[in-house]
Amino acid sequence: MNNQTVHIEHEVHRDDVGARMGMWLFLFTELLLFGGLFLVYAVYRHEYVEQFRVAAMALNTTVGALNTIILLTSSLTVALSIAALQKGNKSLSVMLLLLTDVLALAFMVNKYFEWTAKIHHGIYPGSETLMNLPDGQILFYGLYYIMTGLH
């Protein structure tokens, strides 16, 4: 009887390193996915230096910077959440994860306003205003919508 209990306990398999490695393998696929998009961006930025500069200047730096800070802060809350868990503070850990979700929502709201402003200016995929712009700017905004949208 006693032997059996021990046996069952051994059946519980736990491999933290393996789990983290799986997470990293997933992240490597993300790296290749976004890496490919950045490669397209880099090549076209080279081909249309001036037009990419003009189009990039038209973007709202404040909204972009705000979203970057939101992303950095949500990275912080996840890191803190893990630290809280390691210290055995479960409720704080859960609270930090909820805060991360709130930040994710804030990011989406911010993106909504950013895109809405662009659409109001007539710049959205396939729009007349966009199609009348030079090729380089059409490419820039196409990549802008695809990359931020996928993200």
Residue 42, interface with another protein (CB under 8 A)?
yes
Contacts of 122 (CB under 8 A, 6+ apart): 128, 129, 130
Residue among 8 and 57 whose Cβ is closer to another protein = 57
Q: How far apart are CA 76 and CA 100, in angstroms?
A: 9
| Crossing angle of helices 16-47 and 135-150, rounded to 10° | 170
Binding range to another protein, per CB under 8 A, among 7-15, 81-89, 114-122, 129-137: 81-89
Residue 33, interface with another protein (CB under 8 A)?
no
Residues in contact with another protein, shown as a per-residue x/- string from 95 to 124 under the rule CB under 8 A:
------------------------------
